[in-house]
A and B are shown apart, each in its own frame.
Chain A
Amino acid sequence: MAEQSGDGIASHLQYWTYVVDESNPFMQIHVDTMILTVTIATLLVGFGIWLKGRVVEGAPTGAQNFMETVVGFINDTVNDNFPVHNPHVAPLAFTIFVFILLCNTLDILPAYLIGHTAHLFGAEHFRPVPTNDLNLPAAMGVSVFVMVLYYEFKLKPVHFMKELVMEPFTSLVPMVLKPVVMPINLILKLVEEVAKPLSLSFRLFGNMFAGEVIFLLIASLLLGGGAVAMTAGFFVGLGWSFFHLFIGLLQAFIFMILTVVYLSIAHQPVEH
């Protein structure tokens, strides 16, 4: 506990960073996030390959049954929201949901366990939850945003371009003023569009980051004290673990369903 109180909470919020170029802050990479996400991805794909060999069309059992529940749930969500059928959306939503859920669930592992293990391999800091790293939510949010833009331009290019400059003010002003409000419209619309990936990624990041900070607060405020404080800290930490687990599930669901909703808006047929 001594080293923890000495360094403070901030030291636990450092990444294991590999700096590629000192002069450019962009040219560095968070090794812990990369290792964890690649591990989770490898495990997921490995699990998929393992399961693929034993998928049966008859009554499913065990792992297949469980995964079919998830797939059925995702399919229901996508089918409820989508006006047209797009075979790429459900796998995307499925990946987002499962991946974020797994990343968030890592949070209930004791932070020190992974941290100290990483220390043995020479890492100065190690953040156990990849969704705590803004890079991961931002990467997913931006990917989803690019897909939304792609479908907007692919399915209704004219309508989308028109919407960019004609909404929301054009119908309210006389004809002569239309060119004047067009730039305003464009700025507003761009803000609206950019808000989607921003809110998507910051929501997930903020929730998971706050959860981590609260874990650290509980630890630093209670676990350092006497026996009573230790006991209280254990139970408070346990309670927060359950709640944070639930938040992780909820955030995974929210990220997934918002992705589906944004994509379904892009797929919405043009109304005349």
Chain B
Amino acid sequence: MSIDLTFIGQIIVFLTMVFLLKKYLYGPLNDAMEARTKKIAEGLAAADAGKEAKAKAAAEIDAQLKDARAKAQEIVAGAEKRAAELSEEAVVKARTDAQQIVEAARGEVEAEANRARQALRKEVASIAMMAAERVLDEELDAKRHAKLIDNVVSEGFGRA
């Protein structure tokens, strides 16, 4: 139980072991642990960054959706307005067209009636002439008595 050469031997053993264990046992394990720590830290940072990017993207999507919706609203409103204008125009145009058609028809009808009246007047004149011929039994000069016949016809038809 005394200090002797073993002491020197133990110092050598101890220091050699410190050196060798650092190289072969502690070093590799420590390196592996540090690498893992770094990896995990990087992974967590990446996850955080990903989450942030996702939130950013979501916000952007929201903004864009809102924008698009507003734009769509605008477009629909514009289209509705334009449609209303168009229909209004169409109605107005249809109304004027109808008016025109009605007026044209009315004019035509009047002209037709006039023509019919003229034709009837001639017919009545010739009938009256024939009747007068029968009555007088004599041929009347149509030109000479035209004024008389006209008077009779306008009297008869004016009231009709």
- The residues of A with any CB-CB pair to B shorter than 8 Å are 13, 15, 20, 25-30, 33-34, 37-38, 41, 44-45, 47-49, 51-52, 55-58, 60, 64, 67-68, 71-72, 75, 88, 90-92, 94-95, 98-99, 133-136, 138-140, 142-143
Closest A-B pairs by Cβ, 6 of them: A48-B25, A139-B10, A48-B24, A91-B22, A135-B6, A30-B6
Question: Is the beta-carbon distance between A57 and B35 smaller than 8 angstroms?
Answer: yes
CB neighbours (8 Å) of B64 from chain A are none
Question: Is the beta-carbon distance between B21 and A140 smaller than 8 angstroms?
Answer: no
CB neighbours (8 Å) of B17 from chain A are 41, 44-45, 95, 99
CB neighbours (8 Å) of A38 from chain B are 13
B window 8-61: CB within 8 A of A: 8-11, 13-18, 20-30, 32-33, 35-36, 39
Give the size range of B's interface with the partner: 20 to 34
Question: Is the beta-carbon distance between A25 and B13 smaller than 8 angstroms?
Answer: no
Whose C-beta in chain A lies nearest to the C-beta of B18?
A95
Nearest CB of B to A22, in Å: 13
Question: Is the beta-carbon distance between A47 and B25 smaller than 8 angstroms?
Answer: yes
* B3 is an interface residue with CB less than 8 A from chain A: yes
Question: Is the beta-carbon distance between B32 and A95 smaller than 8 angstroms?
Answer: no
Contact of A41 among B11, B16, B23, B26 (CB under 8 A): B16
Question: Is the beta-carbon distance between B39 and A28 smaller than 8 angstroms?
Answer: no
Given contacts A57-B35, A67-B25, A91-B18, contact A25 B4 (CB under 8 A): yes
- The residues of B with any CB-CB pair to A shorter than 8 Å are 1-11, 13-18, 20-30, 32-33, 35-36, 39
The A interface is mostly helix, strand or loop, or mixed, namely helix
CB neighbours (8 Å) of B6 from chain A are 29-30, 33-34, 133, 135-136
Nearest CB of B to A144, in Å: 9
Question: Is the beta-carbon distance between B30 and A136 smaller than 8 angstroms?
Answer: no
Contact of A134 among B3, B22, B36 (CB under 8 A): B3
Given contacts A45-B24, A139-B14, A140-B14, 8 further A-B contacts (CB under 8 A): A20-B5, A26-B5, A34-B10, A51-B29, A52-B25, A57-B39, A91-B21, A139-B8
Given contacts A27-B4, A138-B7, contact A71 B30 (CB under 8 A): yes
Cα distance, A136 to B10, chains bound together (Å): 6
CB neighbours (8 Å) of A90 from chain B are 26, 30
Nearest CB of A to B76, in Å: 58
CB neighbours (8 Å) of B23 from chain A are 48
Contact of B33 among A27, A49, A68 (CB under 8 A): A68
Cα distance, A75 to B37, chains bound together (Å): 13
Question: Is the beta-carbon distance between A57 and B36 smaller than 8 angstroms?
Answer: yes
Question: Is the beta-carbon distance between A91 and B5 smaller than 8 angstroms?
Answer: no
Cα distance, A75 to B33, chains bound together (Å): 11
A-B contacts, 5 of them at CB < 8 A, read A45-B20, A134-B1, A134-B3, A142-B7, A143-B15
Contact of B5 among A29, A67, A88, A98 (CB under 8 A): A29
Whose C-beta in chain B lies nearest to the C-beta of A54?
B28
Question: Is the beta-carbon distance between A95 and B10 smaller than 8 angstroms?
Answer: no
CB neighbours (8 Å) of B4 from chain A are 25-30, 135
Contact of A71 among B11, B15, B29 (CB under 8 A): B29
Question: Is the beta-carbon distance between A29 and B25 smaller than 8 angstroms?
Answer: no
Given contacts A55-B29, A57-B36, A71-B26, contact A142 B11 (CB under 8 A): yes
Contact of A60 among B2, B16, B24, B32 (CB under 8 A): B32
